[in-house]
Amino acid sequence: MVSVVVHRFRFVPQQLSTFTSRSPSPVTTSPPRLRFSVSSSSSPSPLDAQIEKRPRFMEFPHLSVVHRNLMEEIFSAIEGKLGSQLLPHTLPPDVQFFQNQSGTSQGSLYIRTGNEFSSVDVLLGSWLHCELPSGALDIASLSAYLNLSTVAPHFVLEFIKSSPTSLVLLLDLLPRKDLVLHQDYLETFYSNTQLERWRQELGKLPEVQPYFLSSLRLRPLFSPTANLIRIDCSCKEEGEAVGQSRMDEIIHDHIGPIAKEVLGIWLDHCACRVGGREVGESEQALLGKRDHVIKDTAVKVDLISNLPRLFGPDVASRVISAIQGIFDK
């Protein structure tokens, strides 16, 4: 959800979603689970005790085991690489985990900002689980925004799952310059890194179709090498269990390796690259304006229009205020 930009999909009306040189070595071991540390007094209140029992962000409680393992690997990789550049978690417990009064909609939010020596502005991660008339909607996302010390792209990864056999993937390095006017930028971050081959690789799967964002405000934010796809593994003849098994296979064998490759490219070439990309004051002004539009679009199109409907005004206001407070710093 919340690092993410929310979209409206064909399969769920007015549905919500969000907006991170060498290839990285594949992760072969299961990373430790990361949990939010929640400060509390020596005598926690009943509410604190109740919140402590709720699932935390890194647990992704509504995803399949295969999908959950991938999200844990992604977040472990990014925190392992950038951990020393990030400030501690500061979200209150009722923003780390939140739900509507009936418990049919649940969500969790992750926010970490970069320190004064980091090129990272903010990392936003989230998961949402909503019981809708059309079925359960699950969204898991990570967005990583860089600051004005670099012109390198932002990173976005989002999964929108409307059923065990239907999934939308958004995976991209969001450009921070006009790619028509700045061909060198296109060459550096998209051509030389061979991001196009990963897009083409996923497109070869028979279950994959292009996914077209319904919002015209969102489409220009993505690069030409973006993975914007819908995966449909439904099979009436063989049943949902077979389709779900095939979905897990695609996540494990195809989406997972490619997502980790793209994240590795972003970490090595964008977030951790030092020197050679100094940004002048005039360029910073343009960069800041573009970044503001991207973040503002994420909050307005995604959150403000969807969270109140799913969680009620009080919960939505609390979560949106936490995000806007970070964006406005």
Residue 147, domain member (yes or no): yes
- What's residue 21's pLDDT? 34
Closest-CA residue to 82 (of 142, 1, 6): 142
Residue 92, domain member (yes or no): yes
Contact 317, 105 (CB under 8 A): no
What average pLDDT does the segment 151-158 reach?
Answer: 96
Residue 58, domain member (yes or no): no
The number of beta carbons lying within 10 Å of the beta carbon of residue 160 is: 28
Residue 42, domain member (yes or no): no
C-alpha separations of 33 from 58, 123, 219, 251, 260 in Å: 7, 18, 34, 20, 18
Q: How confident is the model at residue 23 (pLDDT cuts 50, 70, 90)?
A: very low
Confidence check: pLDDT of 236 > 70 = no
Contact 114, 86 (CB under 8 A): yes
Report d(CA 73, CA 60) in Å as an integer.
12
Report d(CA 17, CA 128) in Å as an integer.
9
Read off the pTM: 0.83
If one compares 55 and 91, the residue with the highest pLDDT of the two is 91
Element of type H or E holding 228: strand 227-232
Closest-CA residue to 269 (of 179, 115, 150): 150
Residue 2, domain member (yes or no): no
Residue 71: which residues within 8 A CB-CB, separation 6 or more?
58, 60, 63, 127, 140
Mean pLDDT of the chain: 82
Angle at the Cα of 273 from the Cα atoms of 255 and 254, rounded to 5 degrees: 5
Count of domains for the chain: 1
Range of the domain at 168: 63-327
Report d(CA 233, CA 164) in Å as an integer.
9
Q: How confident is the model at residue 54 (pLDDT cuts 50, 70, 90)?
A: very low
Residue 24, domain member (yes or no): no
If one compares 205 and 275, the residue with the highest pLDDT of the two is 205
Looking up residue 298, the CATH number of its domain turns out to be 3.40.1500.20
Residue 72, domain member (yes or no): yes
Torsion of CA 60, 64, 65, 68, to 10 degrees: -30
Q: How confident is the model at residue 274 (pLDDT cuts 50, 70, 90)?
A: low
DSSP letter assigned to residue 131: E
Hey, what are 171's tokens?
């995976």
C-alpha separations of 132 from 3, 14, 95, 216 in Å: 22, 11, 22, 25
Q: How confident is the model at residue 281 (pLDDT cuts 50, 70, 90)?
A: confident
What average pLDDT does the segment 248-274 reach?
Answer: 94
- What's residue 89's pLDDT? 85
- Classify 315 in phi/psi space as left (phi over 0), alpha (psi -120 to 50) or beta: alpha
Percentage of the chain with pLDDT > 90? 64
What average pLDDT does the segment 221-248 reach?
Answer: 90
Confidence check: pLDDT of 240 > 50 = yes
